[in-house]
Amino acid sequence: MKKFILERKNQICHGSDQELFSNLVNVYKRFRYYQASLNLEVFLRFIEMFPDLIVNILLSYAMLNHEVSDFLHTYRDRFGKIILDSGTWTLNKAKDSAIKLITLDNYQCYLMRYGHLYDFYINFDSNFTEAGAEENQYNQMVLEDAGLHPVPVVHDIYGPEIDQYIKAGYKRIALGSSQIHTQRDMAHVMRRLDGTGIKIHTLGKSGFNLLGYFLIDSSDSAMWAREGGYGYLCWLNPNRKGDDKTDRVYLEEFLSVSNSHKYSYFSYEFKEDFDNYLLNTFNLKYYDFFYKDNEGKSNAYNKMIVNMYYYVKLEEEINKMHQKIRSLQEGVAGS
- For domain 2-9+26-229, the CATH superfamily is Aldolase class I (3.20.20.70)
Chain mean position to CA 275: 26
Say what the pLDDT of residue 97 is: 62
DSSP string, 40-101: HHHHHHHHHH-TTS--EEEEEGGG--TTHHIIIIITGGGSS-EEEE-SHHHHHH--SGGGGG
Say what the pLDDT of residue 102 is: 92
Q: Which of 216, 183, 215 is nearest to 201 (CA)?
A: 216
Query: Taking the chain (335 residues) in consecutive chunks of 10 residues, what is each chunk's mean pLDDT?
Result: 36 41 46 95 96 96 95 97 94 76 96 98 92 93 98 95 96 92 94 96 93 96 93 96 95 68 92 98 93 70 96 96 91 70
Q: Phi first, then psi: give them for residue 248, nearest 5 degrees.
A: -105, 110
Q: Phi first, then psi: give them for residue 56, nearest 5 degrees.
A: -110, 145
Domain boundaries, the chain: 2-9+26-229
